[in-house]
Each structure stands twice: as C-alpha cells, then as structure tokens.
C-alpha cells in the first residue's frame, strides 16, 4: 500500500494563477482532509470530506475549493493564488475510527 500520496511535491505560482493539488489514498478511508501548515501556527483545516461526493468547510476555507468525485481522491483547488497562500499543504485520510494518516506534503510558493 502506498498510503496517502500528494501531487506535486513542490510548486511555484505567480499571483493570480490557478492550480490543483491532488491527494490519493489506497486504504479505502471514508474521511479525507486538507490542512495548511504555516510557521508557528500548527496545522489548520481548510476543507474536509466525510465520503465520496461530500465536502465541508474547515477553519480557513476562503480562497480554496475542493472536490471528492472518487472515494480515493481529494482535490484542492486554488482559483486565483495569492502570496498569503504560500504554505505547506498536507492531506490526510482516516477510517471511521479516529487515527489520521498524513501524506508527505506539498510546498507551495506564490510570488
């Protein structure tokens, strides 16, 4: 099992550009999450999904959109990137029990 994978690992964008981050899990987990990690601020939840076809807002959803068309994939979109969205993005998944499994992260820089 690959666990939770994230694509890409690194990306540099210019202000106003758009991009999609892909998270994939092969553990048949119901729940999937997108977090951002900034220095001194821990991990903050952006959006999450409790199952295929569902999404919900977390703590810091503004400027992001998500989709969960397939159970194994959770996509995070930035329609018009801003420098404030420079961060490390982590995806996580979990089964109905509580443990979350995290991906390796995507480092995004917006110039």
What is the binding site for other proteins (CB under 8 A)?
4, 31, 33, 35, 40-45, 48, 50, 56, 58-59, 90, 92, 98-105
- In whole angstroms, how close is the CB of 47 to other proteins at the nearest point? 11
> Of 95, 109, 101, nearest to 23 (Cα)?
101
Nearer to other proteins (CB atom), residue 52 or residue 102: 102
- In whole angstroms, how close is the CB of 30 to other proteins at the nearest point? 10
- In whole angstroms, how close is the CB of 76 to other proteins at the nearest point? 15
The Cα–Cα gap between 74 and 51 comes to: 10
57 Cβ neighbours under 8 A, 6+ residues apart: 47
Assess contact for 15 and 81: CB atoms under 8 A. yes
Report helix, strand or coil for 91. strand
Q: Are strands 106-110 and 87-94 parallel, antiparallel or unpaired?
A: antiparallel
Nearer to other proteins (CB atom), residue 39 or residue 69: 39
- In whole angstroms, how close is the CB of 77 to other proteins at the nearest point? 21
């Amino acid at each position: 099992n690959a666990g939770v994978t994230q694509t890409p690992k690194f990306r540099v964008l210019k202000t106003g550009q758009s991009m999609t981050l892909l998270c994939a899990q092969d553990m048949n987990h119901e729940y999937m999450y997108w977090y951002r990690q900034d220095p001194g601020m821990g991990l903050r939840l952006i959006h999450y999904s409790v199952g295929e076809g569902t999404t919900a807002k977390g703590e810091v959803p503004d400027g992001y959109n998500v989709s969960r068309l397939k159970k194994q994939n959770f996509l995070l979109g930035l329609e018009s990137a801003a420098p404030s969205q420079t961060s490390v993005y982590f995806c996580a998944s979990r089964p109905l029990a509580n443990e979350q499994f995290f991906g390796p992260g995507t480092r995004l820089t917006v110039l």
